[in-house]
Amino acid sequence: MEVNTLFSLQNKVILVTGSSGGLGSAIVSAMQAHGAKVIASDLNNHNKPQSGVDFIPCDLSRNEDIDQLVERAKALHGRIDVLVSNAGIQGPAGPIGGATDDDWDAVMSINLKSALRLCSALLPDMAERGQGSVILMSSIAGVRGNKAIGLYGLSKAGLAQLARNLAVEWGPKGIRVNCISPGLIRTPLATELLENAPFMERRLSLTPLRRVGEPEEIAGVAVMLASKAGGFISGQNIVVDGGTTISDGS
């Protein structure tokens, strides 16, 4: 294997959900830059991706929308080689006991159940070709306790376990399934936190690199997992947080 092709995605067809957000748009750009044919999907087309990227709107809370997304995506290029399940919602803030049944249904449906439904629809075709890669976007909220976004954390922890389960189930068919768990990343959704000086002082003091992450740093990990460079990685939850979760605060 030539080193200069390790990260090549030439001729790969990649489906990215949650494509309009900060992380999603960075992943779409990075995949395209490495040669992939990218199909982007989000709730609407208000922030359609750049030229050369196909876009399919989808409401991931609706099973029929997910099924239609898969059908339309496969029709574009005949197959999907890589799935990046990036879409998600935070849900309510506050004690987890205060979450309503509707909160549970919304967060688990969009963050966890939709990922499984997409995988269930796409993995059999990947298995027939003997190869494929699935990248589920989790969070460090899924690897530590949370007093404010506990429901979100539960859903993200579920994604990490889903990756392990699917990696074991589909690995013999040549399919790799992994999670990425970002820490605090400079995206529009993080603006409120980034502008909160007391929070940032505390957070950065607990982060060995003493800075927030950039969307491209998450996208780079996704490219690795989609390419030959990640060919022997499966069932893993890769934490990309500048060291926040391993710090003793010193």
Local confidence pLDDT in tens for the 250 residues of the chain: 555 799 999 999 999 999 998 999 999 999 999 999 999 999 976 556 567 899 999 999 999 999 999 999 999 999 999 999 999 999 999 999 999 999 999 999 999 999 999 999 999 999 999 999 999 999 999 999 999 999 999 999 999 999 999 999 999 999 999 999 999 999 998 999 999 999 999 999 999 999 999 999 999 999 999 999 999 999 999 999 999 999 987 7
Distance CA 218, CA 149 (A): 21
Q: pTM, whole model, 2 decimals? A: 0.95
Specify whether 64 is catalytic. Answer: no
Report the pLDDT value the prediction gives residue 3, as an integer from 0 to 100: 59
Distance CA 129, CA 77 (A): 15
Report the pLDDT value the prediction gives residue 51, as an integer from 0 to 100: 74
Report the pLDDT value the prediction gives residue 45, as an integer from 0 to 100: 66
Which residue in the list 152, 153, 159, 219 is annotated as catalytic? 152
Estimate the share of the chain in helix, then strand, then coil, as percent rounded to the nearest 5: 50, 15, 35
CA atoms within 13 A on the CB side of 123: 21
The answer to whether 31 touches 221, Cβ cutoff 8 Å, is: no
